[in-house]
Amino acid sequence: MTTLSCRVATTQRQLDDALRLRWAVFGKEMGLLSSKATPTLREVNGFDTLETTVHLIVYADDTPVATSRLLLPNPEVACATGGSLGIELEQKLDLSGVGMPGLVFAESTRFCVLKEWRHSEALVWLQAGLYAESRQRGVTHWIASANMETDCAEDARIIHEMAMRQRLVSQRWHARAHAPAEPPATPSAPRFTPSERERARQGNFSGLRMPRVLSLFAYKMGARFIAEPLYDTGFHRYSLPLVAALDEVPDTTLACFASLGSGSSRRARG
């Protein structure tokens, strides 16, 4: 039996666990980062060490198996970039149409789980930890950009159309890219087959499935998408920007969080 727990990184060792986990998932497993491995085998950027950044790590006993990063509003970054929130996504999106007095937006980013733990309670522990920490810090809304699992522009457009047809696009919040990046001329990670793509062109979306991460945010966390697909030149994939109100997280999800128990850990099969 293995004990799962979700912790906020408060030591250099725990921060290092988060950064190594991110490289293991995004770099080694998924190949989303530079093909040339960094000598430190860690995925790191300047937002990681800000005092307004919170790193959460799920441990199986003492082994890190999942992590996520919460970027709270940072006035210093906002002043330097001319933004309003001072979060990383603001470098790609004009977020002037998102937010209003009394609301606190924080960016949920670098959400990842080791492959062997992806269909376990580790995912729920990470979501629950993110929710609890956000509530404690007064966050009212999450903003993020979820991996669409493709670098094909047409497939990204199809997924966005599916989201609109399923009424998963926000009627309240809207954002646009500052300067859309160009995807590769020849995609290396198509999401749909040529026949599926042709059916979609004719308006037939039956049998087509949204990427798991998008469905997770939309149906489990109550998120709604707020912009056109973004191509990320760092991760070489499209992502879809979204906003989720913490007050609108579905009751079924909150019950799932509560089932983990009032303590910080629980026995689970590894």
Residue 135: alpha-carbon gap to chain centroid:
18
Q: How many CB atoms lie within 10 A of CB 81?
A: 14
Which pLDDT belongs to residue 37?
A: 62
Mean pLDDT within 215-224: 94
pLDDT for 100-131, tens place per residue? 889 999 999 999 999 999 989 999 999 999 99
Query: d(Cα 12, Cα 6) in Å, to the nearest integer?
Result: 16
Residue 27: alpha-carbon gap to chain centroid:
16
Q: How far is CA 225 from CA 167, 219, 270, in A?
A: 9, 12, 34
Query: d(Cα 16, Cα 3) in Å, to the nearest integer?
Result: 21
Q: Has residue 192 got a pLDDT over 50?
A: yes
List, in order, residues 6 or more apart from 97 with CB less than 8 Å away. Answer: 173, 174, 175
For the domain covering 2-268, report its CATH number: 3.40.630.30
Which pLDDT belongs to residue 36?
A: 61
Q: Has residue 270 got a pLDDT over 80?
A: no
Rounded percentage of the chain residues whose pLDDT exceeds 90: 84
What's the whole-number average pLDDT of the chain?
Answer: 92
Which pLDDT belongs to residue 268?
A: 44
Tokens linked to 91: 């470098």
pLDDT for 199-215, tens place per residue? 999 999 999 999 999 99
Residue 209: alpha-carbon gap to chain centroid:
18
Ramachandran angles phi, psi of 5, nearest 5°: -150, 150
**Contact yes or no for 111/26 (Cβ under 8 A):** no
Q: How many CB atoms lie within 10 A of CB 87?
A: 27
pLDDT for 136-190, tens place per residue? 999 999 999 999 999 999 999 999 999 999 999 999 999 999 988 899 999 999 9
- 32 vs 123, residue with greater confidence: 123
Which pLDDT belongs to residue 136?
A: 97
List, in order, residues 6 or more apart from 262 with CB less than 8 Å away. Answer: none
Q: How far is CA 220 from CA 123, 172, 243, 252, in A?
A: 12, 20, 13, 8
Ramachandran angles phi, psi of 128, nearest 5°: -65, -40
Tokens linked to 155: 């497939």
* 138 closest CA partner among 184, 73, 45: 73
- 32 vs 81, residue with greater confidence: 81
Which pLDDT belongs to residue 264?
A: 43
Rounded percentage of the chain residues whose pLDDT exceeds 70: 95
pLDDT for 6-15, tens place per residue? 999 999 999 9
Which pLDDT belongs to residue 30?
A: 87
